[in-house]
Structure 1
């Protein structure tokens, strides 16, 4: 492989809002391994404004133009989940590598179809499980691998969804609709379970869950309108890992006045505790502590791999892109791929179908 910058084409970039402009563009602009080649928006004037603002070489108004553009090597899909299947499929059919935000698809079937297509085309894929790139999560993975906790016996997680509480901004109203694929199960819970499995270098083999909707409505901040909540705002989860370790988790909508995030890994020789004042593992603000036999719990410093101008969201995404570039150059598979996405979709599928009964994954 050469070290020519990877030409990136991002589908659906707005100059003033959206995850692409908030996280992906700032991350890519700092990485010499990539070039901002093209972006698309269904309104060409919006695409042109975004291209001028962010320094893209080309602005187009359709997915077809973007995925077939000769300067685009990697297509990035950051739009809402119901559109992923069509857009990812178009990019793969064009023979392009693809970075899709999580969730990969609306369901396990669609995720498996995209993964099979990518494999048949022989292209590289990346899924936006960016918490795997977080320095704290990677440090926990290193400690576990080095035997800090000994044999992992169990893990306990308390999380808060941040959204799905008493109120939310109108821009996030879509997260209340199960047809949009962005519920608490699909986003904060899924990211956290993926990060935990990654940190333990393990995978779920069975799961059961009880999903409950306790709030009938949520208040929209701008209008004070009460709108229906049609997705779960309480998740009680039990899972078993391939190693035999047990995972217990409770996720709640909104934020707690007490504990918002608590991840405890209990082992035969030691324990690790990860806490955060915000609601789940993808947001950051972590405090890591630990203790081995004969010790009291004490803080564990984490090497920071982020640049001075990176917030945790941009930093996580930047690290994912660095992994993608490294894998492409060296032929390794250190970054999360569509295959990783399928494994997580299997877990979420088991959670949604379990109704309290254990399901193999």
Structure 2
């Protein structure tokens, strides 16, 4: 970080190590891109934000869902009046991890103290994606519940304690008065793993994915308005894709991450 040749430091390690590395980089006068969540809790995030303001260098938090081509398209559809006045929106998602079993490299997500939780990762990314389309919630209430207190290690078959909540339920109001509801649960579902509905006076938009991480998932966009009674598939224009054509692999998670506009 002290090298003059280094212009940008990217912090993409486990959350408990974010603050130390971000502070070190900022103290060296370097620009920083830190993955979300920025800190292990609000106090750490506020501490880093204060230091960044004092250093006056470019800093970025890596919230990628808002750069997903499907979400960027939905944002413009809403702004252009496709659904009319937004009345309500509902998000249901599964977090993948924190279900009945845990893999050998995922034990750290079971401990709430590590900050890599259902709330901070899949729900946090989904919330930011929603805010990018419909605006930041003006009111938000979140309830955390632990239905599973242990999971089974997939290799050993032994139970492993879990202190991180496996259910996140939230409700709030958006700019203009629209109602928003969320339910993210641990593991995966045989039913809905990600479904986001935007309901308006003139139409509806529906985004679905195979897992509740919209920042990593291949999102399907559907819409309906006027006399249509069911949503129909919508094609996301190529203009929303920000990666070179040779790297256009919508089924791969890096495609969504690298769709960020530079």
> TM-score band (shorter)?
over 0.9
| C-alpha separation in 2, matches of 1:214 and 1:194 | 25
Supply the distance in 2 between the matched residues of 1:141 and 1:237 (Cα, whole angstroms). Answer: 22
Distance in 2 of aligned mates of 1:146 and 1:312: 30
1:165 Cα deviation after fit: 0.7
Task: Judging by fraction of residues, say which structure has more helix.
Answer: 1
Tell me whether 160-169 or 105-114 shows the greater mean CA deviation. Answer: 105-114
Q: Deviations over 1:60-86 (max 9, x none)?
A: xxxxxxx11111000000111111111
Distance 1:115 1:107 in 2: 13
User: What is the aligned partner in structure 1 of residue 206 from structure 2?
Assistant: 273
> Does the 8 Å CA contact 2:91/2:194 hold for their aligned counterparts?
yes
Equivalent residue number for residue 220 of structure 2: 287
Say if 2:256 is the partner of 1:316: yes
Match of residue 125 from structure 1: 59
* 2:22 is the alignment partner of 1:88: yes
Length-normalised TM-score, structure 2: 0.92
Whole-Å separation in 2 of the counterparts to 1:275 and 1:133? 16
The 2-side partners of 1:105 and 1:179 are apart by 12
Alpha-carbon distance in structure 1 between the residues aligned to 2:181 and 2:98 = 21
Q: What TM-score do you get using the length of structure 1 for normalisation? A: 0.68
Question: Secondary structure, in 3 states, of the residue corresponding to 1:263?
Answer: strand
Partner of 1:173: 107
How much does 1:204 deviate? 1.6
Q: After the TM superposition, which residues 9-158 of structure 1 pair with which residues of structure 2 at under 5 Å, given as runs? A: 67-158=1-92
- Contact kept, 8 Å, 1:153 with 1:246, in 2: the verdict is yes
Q: Which moved more, 1:280-289 or 1:226-235?
A: 280-289
Deviations 1:136-190 (A, max 9, x none): 1111111111111112111101100111111121101000001110010110011
Equivalent residue for 1:338? none
Partner in structure 2 of residue 228 of structure 1: 161
Which has the larger displacement, 288-297 or 250-259? 288-297
Unaligned 5+ runs, structure 1: 1-66, 324-361
Q: How many Å apart are 1:318 and its aligned residue?
A: 2.0
Do 1:220 and 1:227's aligned partners in 2 also have CA atoms closer than 8 Å? Answer: yes
Off by >6 Å, runs of 4+ in structure 1? none
- Following superposition, the deviation at residue 293 of structure 1 comes to 2.2
* Kept in 2: contact 1:270–1:290 (CA 8 A): yes
Give a deviation string over 1:48-67, Cα, whole Å, max 9, x none: xxxxxxxxxxxxxxxxxxx1
Task: Provide closer, same or farther for how the CA distance between residues 196 and 270 of structure 1 changes in structure 2, counting only shifts above 3 A.
Answer: same
CA separation of 1:312/1:129 partners in 2, compared to 1, >3 Å: closer, same or farther?
Answer: farther
In the alignment, what sits opposite 1:336? none
The alpha-carbon deviation at position 126 of structure 1 amounts to 1.2
Q: Cα RMSD between the aligned structures?
A: 1.5
Any gaps of 5 or more consecutive residues in structure 2?
Answer: none
Larger Rg belongs to: 1
CA drift at 1:319? 2.8
Partner of 1:243: 176
Task: Tell me, in whole angstroms, the C-alpha distance in 2 between the residues paired with 1:133 and 1:120.
Answer: 28
